Structure 1
Amino acid sequence: MPDDTLPQLSPDEALALLKDGNRRFLDDATYQPPIDRMRRLHLAAAQRPFAAYLSCSDSRVPPELLFERGLGELFIVRNAGNTLCTSALGSLEFAVTQLGVPLIVVMGHEACGALRAAVAVTREQRQFSGNVSKVLQSLLPAVLEADPWAENLVDAAALCNVRKVVRELQQEASPALLEPQRRGALRVVGAYYHLDTGRVDFLDEER
């Protein structure tokens, strides 16, 4: 359950913390979050993350490092291609209903291996093992939605996939996620990570 002794951030305040953290990351600023015994003991009693993250499993995309956050600050759900499977959706609902997170971020990234495989399925009729194919099935709509003439179809599909998942969470999710969004207690945003620069673009800024 949430640690009620900690202040509750608004969705915009939580998003600002992430943006500030990525700016520090880009500046190569030294950041040492508290990970000592007292911090661990405090978190053993309760957790109060300020954001939930649906991110790709890619080893190059660790949210805590990209945003310079420490123990107990981010509730992270990761899978190949940051897809909204049943497990991911249930985990996000838990973060909102039981931990009180005010912000959900869906983050894709450039050169995503899962999206590259999905592109290969549609363009080259490639075949993968049974369980991998199940993961790729959920990514195929994003590949088909992307501009087929894009300079980099994999990256274009990754962006489409982020927007698709955000759309589903904003419009088609369960009441557990829709109701707090309606009253302004929860915000869902998309993000896109650039491997070469370390920059995270938040897609809310496109509006």
Structure 2
Amino acid sequence: MEFACKLAGTKLLVVLGHTACGAVKGACDDAKLGKLTGMLAKIKPAVNAVTSPEDASLRNSGNLEFVNNVAEQNVLLTIDKILKDSAVLAEMHNSGEIKIVGAMYNVHSGAVTFI
């Protein structure tokens, strides 16, 4: 991303999540399976950041609204991580040289909604 923006002239980064995401469902259910466990752990902060519903029995992959809220939160946290981890991109973003935006792709309708 740094190369694309700083040297190749990219002006827009889009962090795109999608509805009904299997990885997010796995993180919501706290799935554990080999190398998958490490990847899902990266999504857990988004699971924890979504505070609704409070009822623990509804905070799982069976609740599609919860899953989609977690997926959207994961997009926002990913943008924050990009800016935290890359001084190059953060400086370019802060100076207005590039934009970093989040969006969600609806797998049923094909619509993309920018956050």
Same fold (TM over 0.5): yes
CA RMSD of aligned residues (A): 1.6
Q: Find out whether 1:186 has 2:98 as its counterpart.
A: yes
Which of 125, 128, 134 aligns to 2:33? It is 128
CA contact (8 A) 1:147 1:156 kept: no
State the aligned residue count: 106
Question: After superposition, what is the alpha-carbon deviation per residue over 1:121-178, rounded to whole angstroms, capped at 9, x for unaligned?
Answer: 0xxxx3211x1111111000001111341762111100110111122334x1322101
Task: Give the TM-score of the pair, scaled to structure 2.
Answer: 0.83
> Which residue does the alignment assign to 2:56?
none
Residues 102-141 of structure 1 correspond to what in structure 2 (within 5 A)? 102-121=11-30, 126-129=31-34, 131-141=35-45
Q: If you compute each CA radius of gyration, which structure gives the higher value, 1 or 2? A: 1
> Among the aligned pairs, what percent are the same residue?
31
Structure with more relative contact order (C-alpha pairs < 8 Å, separation 6 or more): 2
- Any stretches of 5+ residues in structure 2 without a counterpart? 54-58
Unaligned runs of 5+ in 1: 1-91
Shifted more, 184-193 versus 141-150: the winner is: 141-150
Structure 1 segments of 4 or more deviating over 4 A?
none
TM norm structure 1:
0.48
1:163-202 alpha-carbon deviations (Å, 9 max, x no partner): 11122334x1322101211221101000001111111001
